[in-house]
Chain A
Amino acid sequence: MNALPRIARQCLSWIATDEEREERLGDLEEAFGHDPAAYTRTAALCFLVMLRRRVARAILHGGQDMLRIFVWAIFSVFVTLFVFAVAGGEPDILIQPFEWAIILLIMLGFALGSGRAASWGQILQDLRRADRLKGAARPAARASAIANMLAAKGAAEPNDFPHLQTIIGLARVSETDAGSLIGGSIALYRERSAHRLQIVKATMTDAYIGAGIAFLLGLIHTAGSITEPPEILAHLLAGATCALFFGMVIAHAVIAPIGGRLSGLYGEETREMEAMRVSLKGGDHVSFAQTAFEALTASSGGKHPARLSLFLGLPVFLAILGLIAITPMGDLKQRLGLSPPADQTGGPIYFDMPEVSLNLDAPGQPVLTYRLALQFDSVPTIDAISIKINELQDAAQLQIRGMKPEDFRGSEKLTQMQQTLLARFNDLLKPRQIQQVMFKQAVVR
């Protein structure tokens, strides 16, 4: 065989599922085994047909399940951020690593304490099993793979159907007892799958409990900082409220889709077990394939006609939403015409620093009592200031201590000092910037 048929065969093998590879390469070999040109032409055509089908399937079914769960989690977060930004929220407020950490630690603690962590290992294995067979969500593909497994053709990995391995084993034990043994096995499987779904639900509850605790801790933190300026208090309160949002994101964008997928998988597998119980009496793997197929398709509920347009439109919608979400939020609100430019947004923000008394380095060491106010236009700068407040105070005291009492009578020295402090403060607050440093009060005694 020369290079071209080999390349065509390789392309086809690369894109085909195990079953398709067996079927199509076998058919090509049988029909064109002695005609390399026809073999290449037909293999290339089959490759293109299959590629088109794969792309359509990926759009229709959204790829594999784990990937779909991930995509929906990202989608949910993007939608939430979008709505939050349009409603006037500042995205920086959502960066609250402590709240995330508290919720996740509480969930982990509950999972370890209640012994649910071990079951999550099984749950993730179940999810991987659901992903393993290409296109295996389709009842026909599953029924066919099971029939192949029964006929020991090796086309399906037995690990893909562990629930059926038990039944096959039981059927071989004793013909008279097989019926009741298989019935017991199905009941056991139902109980186990219900338990795993229960664990997923309990984990969702853990996420809410974690969110509640993180919220309360945030409130306590706010109450403990009650002497702080209103800007800082508002920020702390917002951080506490964000904990509730994080809990909901974890519960509904991550845990709930896992539960939904598992529920579907367990339903499919239970129907397959029931189908096998019926068909094993006949002892014929082909009749099983048909029985299993009818059982699975009977309860699959059919596909929604609107699905194609939904899944074609969704990637476009996601892409637009993603682009908007990663755009700086200030710009976004301006682009949507929801708010004026930043320099007109609610005017400047002022932050009052605590009052300070110190001795000036002047004869008689007069006492200066002063209070500085900082002016800026970005809410997140409040966070930067509150974190660096001690350093700002030290820097200010260092500069101001060298002034003389008469410097506070004229404006020249004060203006100079304001400029010096502005440069020093901006250096300390990088990358945040303030626009002005003002003396709200300066009394020399």
Chain B
Amino acid sequence: MGRNSLGSLEEAVMLIILALGDNAYGVAIRDELSKRTERDHSFGAVYTTLDRLGDKELIFSWLGDPSSVRGGRAKRYFKLTDAGQKRLDEAIRARRELESGFLGGKLA
């Protein structure tokens, strides 16, 4: 998959980061992803996707406060960059156009 294309898991993770707002961190993203897609996603897959999105400069991250339930470790929060927001909008629009094409029978 090329650097400029957006995979389906990448798109899903970006949507979830957007939906979670200020609470978008590893565990929450993975839980929400598993819930929405009704599939159990491993942390490895989620981290790989997050790293890839970071490499593509579509998301950025920062460390939050440490918490006792995490063994005194901090959470790493994620947010979409402007470029990420734009890319997500484009991907959603492209998919909607494709879907409307199918539904309208234009591609039949």
Convert A10-50 into 0s and 1s, putting 1 for each residue whose CB lies closer than 8 angstroms to a CB of B: 00000000010111111111110100000000100110111
Q: Which of B30, B75, B82, B83 contacts A23 (CB 8 A)?
A: B75
CB-based contact B42/A289 at 8 Å: no
Q: Is there an interface contact between A45 and B43, defined as CB atoms closer than 8 Å?
A: yes
- Chain A residues within 8 Å of chain B by Cβ, number: 39
Q: How far is the CA of A368 from the CA of B17 in the complex (A)?
A: 101
Say yes or no: A53 contacts B51, CB within 8 Å: yes
B105 within 8 A of A: no
Interface contact A305-B3, CB-CB below 8 Å: yes
Residues of A with C-beta under 8 A to B51: 53
Interface check A155, CB cutoff 8 A: yes
Cα of A286 to Cα of B43 in the assembled complex, Å: 25
User: A277 on the interface (CB 8 Å rule)?
Assistant: no
Contact of B44 among A23, A49, A153, A289 (CB under 8 A): A49
Q: Does A232 touch B at the CB level, under 8 Å?
A: no
A144 is an interface residue with CB less than 8 A from chain B: yes
Which residues of B have CB within 8 Å of A153?
A: 63-65, 74
Known: A29-B71, A29-B73, A293-B81. A285 touches B43 (CB 8 A): no
The residue in chain A whose Cβ has the minimal distance to the Cβ of B48 is A49
The A-contacting residues of B in range 28-56, CB under 8 angstroms, are 30, 42-44, 47-48, 51, 54-55
Distance, CA A147 to CA B63, complexed state (A): 8
A290 at interface, CB cutoff 8 A:
yes
Residues of chain B lying within 8 A (CB to CB) of residue A49: 44, 47-48
Nearest-neighbor residue (CB-CB) of B52 within chain A: A53
A143 CB within 8 Å of chain B: yes
When distances are taken between beta carbons in the complex, the residues of chain B under 8 Å from A297 are: 57, 81, 83
A148 interface residue, CB < 8 Å from B?
Answer: yes
A210 within 8 A of B: no
Assess whether B106 is interfacial by the CB under 8 Å rule: no
* Separation of A15 and B81 alpha carbons in the complex (Å): 27
CA distance A25 to B48 in the complex (A): 16
For this complex, 19 residue pairs linking A to B, each with C-beta atoms less than 8 Å apart, are A23-B26, A24-B43, A24-B47, A26-B66, A27-B75, A42-B44, A46-B43, A46-B44, A49-B47, A50-B47, A140-B54, A144-B61, A144-B63, A151-B62, A153-B63, A289-B60, A290-B60, A290-B79, A293-B81
